[in-house]
Amino acid sequence: MASMLGLAAWSLAAQAADARRETFGAMPDGKHVDAVVLSNSHGMKARVIALGASLQSLEVPDRDGKSADIVLGYVSLDGYLSKPQYFGATVGRYANRIAKGRFVLDGHVYQVPVNDGANSLHGGTRGFDKVLWTVGAVAHDAGKASVTLRYVSPDGDMGYPGTLTVSATYTLDEDNRLSIDYRATTDKPTIVNLSNHAYWNLSGEGSGSVMAQRLTIPGDAYLPVDAGSIPTGEIRKVDGTPFDFRQGKPIGRDIRNADPQLLAGHGYDHNWVIGRDEATSPRVVARVEDPVSGRVLTLKSSKPGLQFYSGNFLDGTTVGTGGHVYRQGDAFVLEPQLYPDTPNQASFGSARLEPGHEYRNLIVYEFTTESAGGAR
């Protein structure tokens, strides 16, 4: 009887999701960079590091049950410090671009650092991707494993008003879903737009080009940009353009089209209009299928915009976690968010957060596989 009970206990433990803490390295000032590894019974394993509240690796089985890391990253902390490229990082206070790094709030002009030509990108020179977050609750049970990271951005940080208290909760469940729940509160009016900047290659990081991976974006319009990648203010229909992914197509099918917008972005680096307003709950904002591995990623969020970037500036000078060089087009990025430059373009809505209110962006990555004959 005792042995049967022991076997049952072992079986339950083997099926349960798990979370364990480890150390990923140390900052120049000696502070330890914590990591938490989340795993489930289906072979998925996510490592989250405290620097930038970043997804450092994500192992996902293919159609044959063989796991591979499908996000780009560095094998050690040194890469994240010496050549930061937003790999898997939480980006903010304002994800994406703000024209000239300036915006007006309640009649006051705020200036934030410019770090992308004449514009501000992903919060400025020291955005949330470059700060050390605090690892809070680490939990797991039979159905899911999670970690919550927190960061307090003081009033005036990078020029932004208000003390912003931010949390990022990563959860891996037994349905092969990895979710990131971003929340933020403030003590005075401010702007906020948080997202995750994971670079994806469903065949496995370092395996080569993603141009044959099939992308669907259920948006009937996108935002054209100027030479600095700032939206012009136009909301343009995708009909008859290389930006029409509504029926799904390989990422690279139209990327060499001479469309002026592809020339401006050196490929795709644009925001798709998923909706003009936020949804009440996460909806599908993208789906990607890899014919080689059979992996399928379905991405959900309630945010109205989706930035799709086709890895245009991966230049062959970065060696990733598997020891391979990352080159142009070796990954794609999908960032659910508010529209770029919303604080300067009233027609895009509002990025304002008031005291007593909570900002939230729940992002869900759901993984399945497809055989040659269809979905599994």
Of the residues 122, 197, 270, 366, only one is catalytic, namely 197
Q: Are 122 and 39 in contact (CB under 8 A)?
A: no
Indicate if 32 belongs to the active site: no
Q: Which residues of 9-45 are buried (b: 16+ CB within 10 A; e: fewer)?
A: eeeeeeebbbbeeeebbeeeeeeebbbbbbbbebebb
The residues with which 140 forms a beta bridge, in sequence order, are 145
What is the torsional sign of CA 233, 237, 243, 247? positive
**Cα 236 to Cα 37: distance, rounded to the nearest angstrom:** 42
Do 310 and 332 contact (CB within 8 A), yes or no? yes
The answer to whether 96 touches 123, Cβ cutoff 8 Å, is no
Residue 284: DSSP 8-state: E
Closest CA to 220 of 240, 241, 246: 246
DSSP 217-275: ---SEEE-B-TTS-B-S--EE-TTSTT--TT-EETTSSTTS--HHHHHHTS-EEEEES-
Q: Is the dihedral of CA 153, 154, 155, 157 positive or negative?
A: negative
Token pair belonging to 121? 């990108």
Scan for tokens 């927190």, then name that residue: 150
Q: Nearest-5° angle of CA 323, CA 69, CA 326?
A: 40
Q: Helices (DSSP H) in the chain: which residue ranges?
A: 2-15, 77-82, 260-265
* 335 is annotated as an active-site residue: yes
Alpha-carbon dihedral of residues 241, 243, 245, 246, nearest 10 degrees? -70
Nearest alpha-carbon partner for 363 in 309, 299, 308: 299
Query: Which residues are tagged catalytic?
Result: 197, 335
